[in-house]
Structure 1
Amino acid sequence: MEMFSANVDLDTIDLSSNKLRQVTFLLKHLGKLQVLNLRNNLIHILDEISMSHLDSIYDIPRHNDSYPSLILMGNNLSCSTCDANTFIKWLLGTKILNITSQNLTCTNENGKQTTIEQSTLGLLKKVCYFTFHNAIICVSVAFISVIMAIASVKACKIWHRYEVIQRLRVGNNQYRHAALLVYHEDDTSFVKGSLVKGLKDKLRSVTNIENENLIKESEDVEPGHSFGTELGDVVNRSSVVIAVASSLFCEDHRYSRIIEEALEIGKPIILFLIDGSGIDRKNMTSVMKQLLRVKPRFVWKIETDGQRKMKTTWRNVCNTILDYIK
């Protein structure tokens, strides 16, 4: 700020009692300046820019060996934090200020006034050390807390996985089947050829359960009951519902009712989305539209060879199934 740009002949500037916190104005053009009075302001710690402005009046060539005089009395100078170290060092080294004659003091870390002298730098060094030391402790504690939190979450996840597998091994009530695989009968060829074997084999491997009933398919509904009634019973005996969402599946009201029932009883649903099957949202029920927003989802995409491939691994699918079982 060129506050005194038109006053190059000033020899005294009195800015006392002006609530100044920093020296924001240029001084290097004031070759005749003898006194800069900053008494009784709100200066605590001068920043690098302020000290640079003040140093500039010392560097102006003069005809004699006199230096301009800076008056800082009446300011509540601070030496309570490590940030004050550079400022206190500057006060002790500058030739435009006589600390002794002005009896300058600063507020230390205990809130007490102390005379500014060389020993003040030693006190600040200790403050800086303890600040750094405390910062290291805080960072270490935070890091340990994060590690413990991660370990705790992981331990809970492992324990939950163990309990789920034990329940599936017993196979009572909703744990009769780990998952019910629901798909349209016209998608049977794709499901049997690309989906069932990989899912069953990997789930047996992950759980170490040799049970054919781990995965139940909608195609396996026992005769003697209506499709919807029997499939609804299987939903209740399954821990998770896996919906193979093709265009035919999404437009069939039978499966819409099954998905609606699963949502109503809070059954976890995992979506296998068959990309490129021509799903048209206009012909879907609101339940099926809601189904397409379900997460987690695993997408099957058509590759260049014309085959559909899942964009993840069977292990990831099986881990997701076990994590979602309540």
Structure 2
Amino acid sequence: MGNIKVLNLSDNSITGLNQKSREIISSSISPNLSVILDGNPLSCAVCEDYEFIQWLLLDSTPVHNRRKLTCRTKHREKEQITNMTIKKLKDMCDAPLKHRQCIITLSVVPASLLLAVVFVVLTLYQCVKRRSKKRRLEEAKRKLQRGYGPYTYAMFLYFCDNDADIVNRHVTPNLEDALHRRLATQRKFVTTSADIEPGRSILDEIEQHLELSSLVAFVLSDAFLISRYSTMETLPAKHKDKPFLFFVNGQINESSILLG
């Protein structure tokens, strides 16, 4: 292109020059090269036109009459190519990015607010739950101290005769002592089948004692699990809506569990 002085591209259907064409024209070794683009439907309607329009307005661009060239906008209107044309194109091309940033921001903010709200709600729920639990414990404590209805006894304790020695020497005294200190009341809190008066139906008496107890406790052992009498005596407890507490005496064989 060193011998070409005028590159006449006028009155064609050129809407713009791609990057390769612009580089060839700009790198021409001919200092007097002049490119004529008059009469072409140059475009300034899409983002892809931005670099071409920007190139046209450079002082070093060898385009003849470039300050009087016109282009068609996205509304199909013809306007003279100026720095305002570049600004309009830039604003048009940046708009989707700003919109996406806005969407991301608007999405992040509600999400952050939602997390904050969830955190606050969970914190309040835990506080209320702890307070509710504390109130229930305090209420149960007061009822046990007064000792009436299902709070006459703290627990009904099941055990078999083989475990009577360890229950009477260790389990029951320790439970009573702990409850006395906790409830600051010196009365009987643990009842067992041994407290049932002779001559009455043992199952009926056990059921009555269960009704008067806050929870049901079991001293589990091999002897307890294989005892036919222990199994029979625990039947009323299965139909009571009471919490269960288990103490384990020694190591229990798997065969005993299966039999129990």
**TM-score band w.r.t. shorter chain:** 0.5 to 0.7
Calculate the aligned-residue CA RMSD, in Å.
3.9
Letter aligned with residue 144 of structure 1: V
- The equivalent residue for 2:193 is 218
SS at match of 1:213: coil
Q: Verify the 8 A CA contact 1:250 1:256 in the aligned structure 2.
A: yes
Between 1 and 2, higher relative CO (CA 8 Å, sep ≥ 6) is seen in 2
> Residue by residue, what CA displacement relative to the aligned partner does 1:2-35 show, whole Å, maximum 9, x if unpaired?
xxxxxxxxxxxxxxxxxxxxxxxxxxxxxxxx99
State which structure, 1 or 2, has the greater radius of gyration over its C-alpha atoms.
2
- The equivalent residue for 1:65 is 23
Out of 223, 228, 249, the position equivalent to 1:274 is 249
Letter aligned with residue 23 of structure 2: D
Letter aligned with residue 65 of structure 1: E
> Residue by residue, what CA displacement relative to the aligned partner does 1:32-84 show, whole Å, maximum 9, x if unpaired?
xx99xxxxxxxxxxxxxxxxxxxxxx9xxx79837xxxxxx99xxxxxxxxxx
- The equivalent residue for 2:148 is 172
User: Which runs of 5 or more structure 2 residues have no equivalent in the other structure?
Assistant: 1-16, 25-44, 55-70, 76-90
Equivalent positions of 1:20-59 (< 5 A) are: none
Q: Verify the 8 A CA contact 1:185 1:219 in the aligned structure 2.
A: no
TM-score calculated relative to the size of structure 2: 0.59
- The equivalent residue for 1:186 is 162
- Give the number of equivalent residue pairs: 193
> Residue by residue, what CA displacement relative to the aligned partner does 1:260-296 show, whole Å, maximum 9, x if unpaired?
1111233332222335143534773xxx4xxxxxxxx
Q: Verify the 8 A CA contact 1:240 1:270 in the aligned structure 2.
A: yes
User: Which runs of 5 or more structure 1 residues have no equivalent in the other structure?
Assistant: 1-33, 36-57, 67-72, 75-90, 105-114, 289-326
Letter aligned with residue 171 of structure 1: G
Letter aligned with residue 151 of structure 2: Y
Q: Verify the 8 A CA contact 2:222 2:256 in the aligned structure 1.
A: no
Q: Verify the 8 A CA contact 1:246 1:279 in the aligned structure 2.
A: no
Q: Verify the 8 A CA contact 1:181 1:244 in the aligned structure 2.
A: yes
SS at match of 1:117: helix
SS at match of 1:161: helix
SS at match of 1:65: helix
Matched, 1:205 2:181: yes
* CA distance 1:160–1:119, shift in 2 (3 Å): same
CA distance in 2, matches of 1:95, 1:180: 89
Out of 121, 126, 130, the position equivalent to 1:150 is 126
Q: Verify the 8 A CA contact 1:250 1:279 in the aligned structure 2.
A: no
Out of 257, 261, 276, the position equivalent to 2:236 is 261
Matched, 1:251 2:218: no
CA distance in 2, matches of 1:267, 1:253: 23
Q: Verify the 8 A CA contact 2:217 2:246 in the aligned structure 1.
A: yes
TM-score calculated relative to the size of structure 1: 0.48
Equivalent positions of 1:309-324 (< 5 A) are: none
Out of 108, 126, 138, the position equivalent to 1:162 is 138
Q: Verify the 8 A CA contact 1:247 1:279 in the aligned structure 2.
A: no
